[in-house]
Amino acid sequence: MLQLPSLTITDRDESRFFLFDDLRLLWEHARGTDLLDKADKPVTADASGPGAGSADDGIGKKDLQAVLIADEHVMAAHRERINAAFPEDMVRCFEVPSGETSKSVSMWNRVMDFAFSGPLKRNTPFIAIGGGVTGDLGGFAAASLMRGLPLYHVPTTLLAMVDSAIGGKTGINHAFGKNTIGAFYHPRAVLFDTAFLETLPQREWLCGISEVLKYGYISDPGLLVDGAALADPATRTPELLQHVIERSVRIKSGVVAADARESGRRAWLNFGHTFGHALETLDNYRNINHGEAVYAGMIAALFVSRRLGYQASDDTLLQLKEKYRLDLRPYTSRAAELVTLMTHDKKNRDKDIRLVLVSAHGSPLITSVSDRSLMTDAWKYTFDVLMT
Distances (CA, A) of 132 to 70, 157, 158, 313: 11, 8, 9, 28
Strand partners, 79: none
> Known catalytic residue: 169?
yes
> Known catalytic residue: 277?
yes
From 204, 262, 280, 292, the catalytic residue: 262
Residue 210 and residue 192 share a domain: no
Q: Residue 184 is part of which domain span?
A: 2-199
Residue 160 and residue 292 share a domain: no
**pLDDT tens per residue across span 275-322:** 999 999 999 888 999 999 999 999 999 999 999 999 999 999 999 999
> Known catalytic residue: 12?
no
From 147, 329, 349, 351, the catalytic residue: 147
Contact 127, 149 (CB under 8 A): no
Using CB atoms within 10 A of its CB, is residue 300 exposed (0-12), middle (13-18) or buried (19+)?
buried
372-387 helix and 335-343 helix, angle to the nearest 10 degrees: 130
From 214, 270, 289, 292, the catalytic residue: 270
> Known catalytic residue: 361?
no
From 188, 290, 354, 361, the catalytic residue: 290
Cα–Cα distance measured from residue 368 to residue 348, given in angstroms and rounded to the nearest whole number: 8
Residue 125 identity: P
**pLDDT tens per residue across span 314-343:** 999 999 999 999 999 999 999 999 999 999
Residue 207 and residue 122 share a domain: no
> Known catalytic residue: 147?
yes
**Residue 111 covered by a domain:** yes
Residue 315 and residue 195 share a domain: no
Cα–Cα distance measured from residue 283 to residue 187, given in angstroms and rounded to the nearest whole number: 31
Which CATH number goes with the domain that contains 72?
3.40.50.1970
From 16, 266, 354, 361, the catalytic residue: 266
Residue 186 and residue 320 share a domain: no
Strand partners, 353: 369
This prediction has a pTM of 0.86
Cα–Cα distance measured from residue 65 to residue 87, given in angstroms and rounded to the nearest whole number: 10
The one-digit pLDDT tens for each residue of the chain (388 residues) are: 567 777 776 645 678 887 766 777 777 777 765 434 444 333 332 333 323 333 344 444 556 789 999 999 999 999 999 998 888 888 999 999 999 899 999 999 999 999 999 999 999 999 999 999 999 999 999 999 999 999 999 999 999 999 999 999 999 998 887 888 999 999 999 999 999 999 999 999 999 999 999 999 999 999 999 999 999 999 999 999 999 999 999 999 999 988 877 778 899 999 999 999 999 999 988 899 999 999 999 999 999 999 999 999 999 999 999 999 999 999 999 999 999 999 987 675 667 899 999 999 999 999 999 999 999 999 999 999 999 8
> Known catalytic residue: 290?
yes
> What φ, ψ does residue 292 adopt, rounded to 5°?
-65, -40
> Known catalytic residue: 62?
no
Distances (CA, A) of 355 to 269, 297, 327, 338: 11, 11, 25, 14
From 92, 250, 277, 361, the catalytic residue: 277
Q: What angle do CA 172, 294, 328 make, to 5 degrees?
A: 105
From 153, 169, 178, 186, the catalytic residue: 169
**Residue 243 covered by a domain:** no
> Known catalytic residue: 334?
no
Using CB atoms within 10 A of its CB, is residue 331 exposed (0-12), middle (13-18) or buried (19+)?
buried
How many domains is the chain built from? Answer: 2
From 78, 252, 354, 361, the catalytic residue: 252
From 28, 95, 204, 211, the catalytic residue: 211
Contact 364, 301 (CB under 8 A): no
Which CATH number goes with the domain that contains 337?
1.20.1090.10
Q: What is the DSSP string of 99-157?
A: SGGGSSHHHHHHHHHHHHTS---TT--EEEEESHHHHHHHHHHHHHGGG---EEEEE-S
> Known catalytic residue: 83?
no
* Residue positions counted in the chain: 388
Residue 122 and residue 98 share a domain: yes
Residue 270 and residue 195 share a domain: no
